[in-house]
Amino acid sequence: MTHRIPAAAALVAGSALALALTGCASPEAPAAEGLSIVATTTQVADFTQQIAGDAAQVTSLIQPNQSSHSFDPTAADLAALATADVLVINGAGLEEWLENAVEASGFSGTTIDASSGVALREFDDDHAHDDDDHADDHAHDDHSHDDHAHDDHSHDDHAHDDHADDHAHDDDDHSDEHDHAHEGDDPHIWTSVGNAIAMVEAIAAGLADVDAESAEAFDANAQAYIAQLEALDAWIIENIEQIDPSERLLVTNHEAFGYFVDAYDVTYVGAVIPSFDDNAEVSAADIDALVSAIRSSGATAVFSETTLSPAAAETIAAEARVDVFSGSDGLYGDSLGPVGSTGETYIGSMIHNVTVLVQAWGGSVTPVPAELSQ
């Protein structure tokens, strides 16, 4: 059983600390060969390493099974930032701690925003828990199975058009201040494989700008990885399609799977923490509303997440008289899993999540394609 990792001590900012840390040797500092890249999240770090290959060493600030919302950079993290050539971020407002970390470390390299090709979805304050309220969100016409191939690898193919008008991202939106991350946007963009492909493309383009000599290798690596992601996407669709839409009912710890829900025609019943932030407070009214939603929807399980304590999920599941999936059977949300776990990689985490969901919904998963074998 996994538990929430407590936030570290508050980040100490200031130029004096930045200068001191610049001279420190991080225990995880990369060797001085090729690009030195720091990535904020485990997912972004995995994408970046897949693209960079041997041309760079990638260090992830957030560690496996660690919440991205309660993260506090350590001295070693800031030291790694101080000497990095490139910083790759999830973007979309996920890394609320990033500005202070960059200032404290004195980082002066290039920042690549992986969310630059993704249309963001908003959190609905009146997020109702019934099928009618979700009908429009789940139409996912652009994700139709006949038109699902990503032959162009264009970002438009991976953005959900129903959100594009409100959240179109142009070059100005992706200034250094990341102005596009509006309050209320969902930052958990990687939970849709289509979005993950757009993130890979953005990272590859950014790395090519930094290291033109390696641009061809970056592109080749990115295209090979995108082919795997397309196979993953097809496998997910194949498996979720076998479940009747009325049975695809999802209850999680916090609102971290909105893009997954939209992409794969799943009905989102609700969350233990009705917020994108897993540190948000939960009221008694929230708990009562979720229990009522579970009972009325016919959902049969609550799916805890590996970065959070399952205690609240277990309490709600018991009150609603449904199963709870936690620990090694929980979902990988904010972070990938440790080395040796099923969620060690992005592809592995998605296979794990879909396997847990499909089996909980009464289905049997099909064999994983050979090219996705971990």
Residue 170: what pLDDT? 41
Burial of 164 (0-12, 13-18, 19+ CB in 10 A): middle
At position 306, the amino acid (one-letter code) is T
- Map out the domains of the chain as residue ranges: 15-125+146-234, 242-372
Instruction: Dihedral sign for Cα 272, 8, 113, 227, please.
Output: negative
Classify domain 242-372 at the CATH topology level: Rossmann fold (3.40.50)
Fold match, 15-125+146-234 / 242-372: yes
Q: What are 185-212's pLDDT values in tens digits?
A: 999 999 999 999 999 999 999 999 999 9
- Could you give the percent of the chain with pLDDT greater than 70? 73
For 259, the 3-state DSSP assignment is helix
Q: For strand 86-89 and strand 110-113, is the pairing parallel, antiparallel, or unpaired? A: parallel
Cβ proximity of 155 and 195 under 8 Å: no
Residue 278: what pLDDT? 57
Instruction: Dihedral sign for Cα 267, 138, 343, 110, please.
Output: negative
Residue 145: what pLDDT? 38
Residue 279: what pLDDT? 59
Strands (E), the chain: 35-39, 56-60, 86-89, 110-113, 249-254, 267-273, 301-303, 323-325
The DSSP secondary-structure symbol of 174 reads: G
- Cα Rg of the chain, angstroms: 20
Is the pLDDT score of 101 beyond 80?
A: yes
Classify domain 15-125+146-234 at the CATH topology level: Rossmann fold (3.40.50)
Residue 374 — pLDDT band, cuts 50, 70, 90?
A: low
Instruction: Give dist(CA 351, CA 331) in Å, integer.
Output: 10
Q: Phi-psi category of 7—alpha, beta or left, where left has phi over 0 and alpha has psi -120 to 50?
A: beta
Q: Is the pTM of this model over 0.85?
A: no
Residues in the chain, how many?
374
